[in-house]
Amino acid sequence: MLSSLVVISALMGMTVAQSSVVSSLFLPGFDSQSLVASIVTAGPRMMEFFVECAPGVDANDCGAGPRVSVTMQPGTYELGINNPPAFTMSERCVIEQQKAVCTMSALGSEANDPGVETTTMEDITTADFFMPVTITAGFDVLAAATATDAGATGGSTTSPARSTEDSPVTSGPVGTETSASTEETSVSTGAAPRITRDAIVGGAAALVGAAFAL
């Protein structure tokens, strides 16, 4: 199985020197809004992000606050919001083929429908389930985890070339990457990565959970 860190690092060109990169995360049920994210935990088979409203965005125009935690592992996706006593929510999705079976628990005075609910979502590889997010922090976490993964395997972090048919990456809209270095600012001239069903499902030739898209 390919290491999710190796592939994601290669796709996004993430380095410690970077200040931000525009991508998208699997965020089912989210309305269109300006979001930023930071990588807080990274491992060979797990990644965790904190997602929140972009700086300067009116709270009435953004529902992702305070910090929303998003955790991805092979075949599973977890989302949590912890803002007691007003609102606490946890959601865990089991990914299978193009379907996600999600169990959500919502509590608090601001919960529209408090309690536990299980829903099934179909065709989860469509753009409706992904939200553009500007990742602004945590590149050092990813770099350190990638280096640790490479050291543990005693090999390079470079993944072998794969054919289009075999790759979990397909094209999406143009994305941008911004370097913290004053010497270099790059703009993608092609399509930024999109993770397809195989990457979401996990398995012999897949990556970790639902990861970067668009």
**Residue 138: pLDDT over 60:** yes
The H or E element spanning position 81 is strand 76-83
- Beta 76-83 vs 68-73: how paired, if at all? antiparallel
Q: What is the pLDDT of residue 149?
A: 58
Confidence of residue 171 (pLDDT cuts 50, 70, 90): very low
Kindly report, residue by residue over 149-169, the tens digit of the pLDDT: 555 655 544 444 443 333 333
93-120 average pLDDT score: 90
Residues 55-79 as b or e (16 or more Cβ within 10 Å = b): eebeeeebebeebbbbbbbbbbbbb
Beta bridge mates, 179: 18
Kindly report, residue by residue over 36-74, the tens digit of the pLDDT: 988 888 877 788 899 988 988 887 788 776 678 999 888
Confidence of residue 120 (pLDDT cuts 50, 70, 90): very high
Per the prediction, the chain carries an average pLDDT of: 67
**Residue 104: pLDDT over 90:** yes
